[in-house]
A = this chain, B = another copy of it.
Amino acid sequence: MRQAGRSLPEFRALRERHSFAELVASAELTAEVTLQPVRRLGVDAAILFSDIVTPLAAIGIDVRITSGVGPVFDEPFRSERDLDRIRPLDPDTDLAPVLAAVRILKAELDVPLIGFAGAPFTVASYFVEGGPSRDYARTKALMLGEPALWHRLLERLGDLTIASLRAQVGAGAAAVQVFDSWAGTLHPDHYAAHVLPASTRVFTALADLGVPRIHFGVTTGELLGHMAAAGADVVGVDWRVPLDLAWARIGDHAVQGNLDPAVLGAPWDVVAAEADAVLAAAGGRPGHVFNLGHGVLPDTDPDVLRRLVDHVHARTT
């Protein structure tokens, strides 16, 4: 139920008074926004409200979240010189409001809090493109044309991810989710050569924390095996891939997913039938975490979300 907030009137009311940057910069507002969907929907976990580029902003790189667009960098990553702009993250100072929010949430939540960070590829894609992209042409040109520089970039970005998630767990997060939202744009051979090493390094560096590590992306059908191999305990599956096929690729890992979020705009009996189809495809396996296959769409009726949560609870308990 990622991005459930944007469908909620209470979140929209807050957004009218505060910019995205203000929400992320305030521990109290971050905690409030994280709590909103839990209160209203009755989900079994909360996910920290944050952004993929938050650690980059925290170390002083100029990036702003533009409404309706996403993160925008005035000075994108272009060459080796830009590596020096990525200094190490000191979470206690750089992410002070984020960690304070985690502590508030740890005290207030009755359900586990999932920590949030971007995977090296997806963070790099924003930094290299200068913002969201449809085709990731600059990112791929750098990755394939200057692989040594690319690997150094992903290692530095991976350090930010590791430091951020270790600190979030230290402050009370009970699981971590690594968002490689756009890795699905890659051919599996490119992923294996140019992304998997950096993501494996991230998951390995989180192993001793002893919390579940979730690895998420969309259009990742052909990447699922690699995403599991990176060290994830749980692999997110988008709605395009039937769960039985996904499991065959993922092997002995848990799976999160994968109801098509667009289905929630259909009449309720259709939503219920589609949720049942996902549960049937999971076949009652204990390693299934029911979820949407991607984030909640902004026009989704919150009452349908609540009804879906209740429906799945009734079917599975």
* Cβ–Cβ contact A266 & B184, under 8 A: no
Q: Given A141-B262, A145-B267, A262-B140, A222 and B245 touching (CB < 8 A)?
A: yes
The CA of A299 and the CA of B297, in the complex, are separated in Å by 31
Give a binary string over A259-278; 1 marks a CB under 8 Å from any B CB, 0 the rest: 01111011100100010010
Please classify the interface of chain A as helix (H, G, I), strand (E, B), loop, or mixed, using the class held by over half of its residues: helix
Assembly CA distance A140 to B240 (angstroms)? 13
Contact assessment for B219 and A136 in the assembled complex, using a CB-CB cutoff below 8 Å? no
Known: A145-B270, A274-B144. A265 touches B137 (CB 8 A): yes
**A264-307 to B contact mask, C-beta < 8 Å, 1/0:** 01110010001001000000000000000000010100000000
- Do the beta carbons of A265 and B141 come within 8 Å of each other? yes
Q: Is the CB of A187 within 8 A of B240?
A: yes
What is the bound-complex CA distance between A236 and B262, given in angstroms?
Answer: 26
Q: Within residues 199 to 255 of chain A, which ones have a CB less than 8 A from any CB in chain B?
A: 219, 221-222, 239-242, 245
* Size of the chain A interface, CB-CB below 8 angstroms: 35
Is A135 part of the contact surface with B, judged by Cβ < 8 Å?
yes
Cα A36 to Cα B135 with chains together (Å): 24
> Which single member of B137, B145, B266, B267 contacts A297 (CB below 8 Å)?
B137
**Given A189-B277, A260-B140, are A219 and B240 neighbors across the interface (CB < 8 Å)?**
yes
B260 and A187 within 8 A (CB): yes
Interface positions of A from 124 to 182, Cβ below 8 Å from B = 135-138, 140-141, 144-145
The residues of A with any CB-CB pair to B shorter than 8 Å are 135-138, 140-141, 144-145, 184-190, 219, 221-222, 239-242, 245, 260-263, 265-267, 270, 274, 277, 297, 299
